[in-house]
Structure 1
């Protein structure tokens, strides 16, 4: 807490702004809080977003942060908890208001896969997997999703 005096409008605006805090054992590790938050995410107060939109926007920022730490031989995938389904190589992501988040992709054998999850059950394990095609550039879905947030302004889906 600081001694700075704020107007009611400034306090309300600060309360509506997204906040993130992370600490890692390696101080040089890149955190999601190091991500530039797209203006469209900041423009709409959290109180005006559905749980699905708010979860989607934050997972997008975590995806991009994770991808920025990968080499050109790996792509992002997500592991499943409590199931034998394995992993999903993330190729797309979306939400369905008010409370559904979905991930599109492929499993380790290349089979089309989609996860549809209620935001109250959302937990995402990001994993680095070797690229599917050795000579192709790695797929960077997090970067494309952030670009979509930046250009969409009002509705990232």
Structure 2
């Protein structure tokens, strides 16, 4: 198969200019918070947002309490396991691979709280 170069009249689609901010952790963080909030709103009062991640062939789930970021490219997820052990997951935005899951609330006697947020821990 031979490649033929298009002639001078070949129309090229114009690429919309992209902001440098589109690839920052802060931009991804805002999208992620919206997805988490939407997921949380779909849950009943007995459940809260959990995160399941798969790394090195192992699966881990935890109750998500806080998401934060540090530009240009790091996200931090803080929570606790079902056993009450603290968890902090720090990932580069190019490696984010999370599953939002419904977990039974650890303390149903306390008011349900939204996932907190913060920047540049």
TM range (shorter): 0.7 to 0.9
> What is aligned with 2:74?
100
Deviation at 1:132, TM superposition (A): 0.6
> What is aligned with 2:87?
113
More strand by share: 2
Which is higher, the Rg of structure 1 or of structure 2?
2
- Correspondence 1:65 to 2:32: no
More helix by share: 1
Distance 2:84 2:24 in 1: 31
Residue 24 (structure 2) aligned to one of 51, 71, 75: 51
SS at match of 1:79: strand
Instruction: Specify every segment of 5 or more residues in structure 2 that has no aligned partner in the other structure, as ranges.
Output: 1-15
Counterpart contact for 1:76–1:90, Cα < 8 Å: yes
> What is aligned with 1:30?
none
> What is aligned with 2:13?
none
Alignment RMSD (CA, Å): 2.0
Instruction: Specify every segment of 5 or more residues in structure 1 that has no aligned partner in the other structure, as ranges.
Output: 1-11, 17-45, 146-155
Residue 132 (structure 1) aligned to one of 92, 103, 106: 106
Deviation at 1:78, TM superposition (A): 0.3
